[in-house]
């Protein structure tokens, strides 16, 4: 079984090296997608034992994940894992994430911040926005209530599942789009607890305002309905 | 009134351009007819503003001008929405292009692969492994 990690990265030059080194122990190969960063993200990533692809201009996390997933399929992955470049995901969760797939019990495994393992340093406002977002996913998108953390970026899937999950949202709306596809396609999915780490560094990341992100996601999902 | 003359002239000009474009094969007959209806309608309303009062009464809106404003807002809403959707389509096409460009770089990079496996072997059993130069 060839397990390939897909790591989208946008302006992560200061974080990505340590993150990649920690991931290397868990993956056979890693595909980093530098999302048109203006910093040295691609250059520092190229120093590591990973494939580095580069978007000529910034296209968003969803677009980067799709590029990386296509690349992983081309590289002959059996299992594909989506994982962030900013060190918010705990590498120690990776074996648990991949296990249900290796044991043939699931096609898709999703990480969740709300299954018992407390996130480190999560601001209260973020928690509220995530909870509200979950209800939006349930009511507006018909995502099953069983999914406790629809906005989580940590997921693993079989190559077959990756081929079947057809997602086109370029930004953060990809998470809901993927979930909708997974929960309606007959793929076997399971959620596992994941430890997410919020640091001052991650919260201050340039050009990010997560509360307005929530509205942007809803808007993109709405417009996406009319875009084919 | 001057405003009426200007409006009618504007609509006549638009009508003329529309049919010119049709003869140039730029737009289809259906499109030309559609625009013509709008231009003629606009011209008639400019000349006989009282007409809108009857229409307003039919729709149950107070004044004729209000009806025009409501209609204008609805049409603009629709057009802006279409613009958003077509913008999203363009964005997705752009993404596709950027992705294809990025994926082209996915060489399976034999020289890189060699470097990696070399490193791994050197790291793992440097004691037993012979490098080619030896
Ligand atoms: N913000 C952002 N991240 C991108 C983009 N393209 C790729 N990414 C990567 O996507 C991953 C997640 O992005 P974050 O901005 O940390 O989003 P998040 O982790 O879901 O949200 P937080 O919990 O607030 O950090 C990171 O590895 C980014 O480097 C982009 O255009 N914008
Ligand atoms: Mg993050």
- Residue pair A107/A181 in contact by the 8 Å Cβ criterion: no
Q: List pLDDT tens digits, range B61-118.
A: 888 888 889 999 999 999 999 999 999 999 999 999 999 999 998 876 544 544 454 4
Distance A61 CA to ligand 1 centre (A): 6
Q: Which ligand is nearest to the Cα of residue A205, counting in written order?
A: 1
Of B99, B106, B119, the CB nearest to A63: B99
Residues of A in contact with B88 (CB under 8 A): 220, 223-224, 226-227
Between A and B, how many CB-CB pairs are < 8 A? 57
Give the C-alpha separation, B41 to B35, whole Å.
10
User: What ipTM was assigned to the predicted interfaces of this complex?
Assistant: 0.89
Please tell me the pTM assigned to this model: 0.83
Q: Which backbone phi and psi does A163 adopt, to 5 degrees?
A: -70, -30
The number of CA neighbours under 13 Å toward the Cβ of B62 is 3
Instruction: Answer yes or no: is pLDDT of A120 > 50.
Output: yes
- Cα–Cα–Cα angle for A15, A17, A23, rounded to 5 degrees: 105
Interface probe, candidates B81, B96, B98, chain A, greatest A C-beta count within 10 A: B98
- Reported as a pLDDT band with limits 50, 70 and 90, residue B53 is confident
CATH hierarchy code of domain A3-226: 3.90.550.10
Residue A184 exposed, middle or buried by CB count within 10 Å (0-12, 13-18, 19+):
exposed
Fill in the DSSP letter of residue A204: S
Q: In chain B, what is the straight-line distance between the N-terminal and C-terminal CA atoms, in Å?
A: 101
Q: Which of residues 155-174 of A touch B (CB under 8 A)?
A: 168, 170
Instruction: Answer yes or no: is pLDDT of B123 > 70.
Output: no
- Residue pair A80/A159 in contact by the 8 Å Cβ criterion: yes
Q: List pLDDT tens digits, range A121-151.
A: 999 999 999 999 999 999 999 999 999 999 9
Query: From A46, which residue of chain B is nearest by alpha-carbon distance?
Result: B112
Give the C-alpha separation, A116 to A93, whole Å.
13
Query: Using CA atoms in the order B122, B124, B129, B133, what is the torsion angle rounded to 10 degrees?
Result: 0
Q: What is the secondary structure of A140-165 as a DSSP string?
A: HH---TT-S-TT---EEEEHHHHHH-
């Amino acid at each position: 079984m060839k397990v390939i990690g897909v790591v989208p990265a946008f302006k992560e030059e200061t974080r990505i090296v340590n993150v990649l080194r920690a991931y290397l122990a868990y993956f056979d190969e890693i595909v980093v997608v530098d999302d048109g960063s203006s910093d040295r993200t691609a250059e520092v990533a190229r120093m590591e034992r990973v494939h580095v692809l580069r978007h000529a201009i910034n296209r968003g996390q969803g677009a980067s994940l799709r590029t990386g997933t296509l690349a992983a399929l081309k590289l002959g992955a059996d299992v594909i894992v989506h994982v962030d470049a900013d060190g918010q995901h705990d590498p120690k969760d990776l074996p648990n994430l991949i296990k249900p797939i290796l044991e043939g019990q699931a096609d898709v495994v999703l990480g969740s911040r709300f299954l018992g393992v407390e996130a480190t340093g999560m601001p209260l406002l973020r928690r509220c926005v995530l909870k509200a977002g979950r209800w939006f996913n349930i009511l507006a998108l018909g995502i099953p209530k069983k999914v406790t953390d629809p906005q989580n970026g940590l997921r693993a899937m079989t190559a077959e599942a990756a081929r079947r999950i057809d997602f086109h949202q370029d930004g953060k709306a990809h998470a809901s789009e993927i979930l909708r596809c997974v929960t309606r396609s007959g793929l076997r999915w399971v959620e596992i607890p994941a430890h997410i780490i919020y640091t001052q560094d991650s919260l201050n990341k340039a050009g990010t305002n997560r509360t307005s992100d929530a509205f942007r996601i809803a808007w993109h999902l709405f417009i996406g309905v009319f875009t084919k | 009134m001057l405003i009426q003359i200007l409006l009618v002239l504007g609509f006549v000009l638009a009508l003329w351009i529309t049919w010119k474009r049709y003869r140039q094969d730029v737009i289809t007959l259906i499109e030309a007819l559609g625009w013509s209806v709008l231009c003629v309608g606009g011209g008639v309303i400019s000349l006989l503003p009282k007409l809108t009062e009857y229409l307003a009464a039919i729709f149950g809106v107070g004044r004729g001008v209000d009806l025009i404003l409501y209609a204008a807002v609805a049409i603009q809403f629709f057009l802006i929405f279409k613009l958003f959707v077509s913008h999203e389509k363009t964005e997705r096409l752009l993404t596709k292009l950027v992705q294809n460009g990025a994926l082209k770089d996915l060489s399976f990079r034999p020289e890189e692969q060699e470097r990696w496996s070399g490193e791994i072997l050197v790291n793992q059993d440097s004691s037993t492994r012979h490098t080619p130069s030896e």
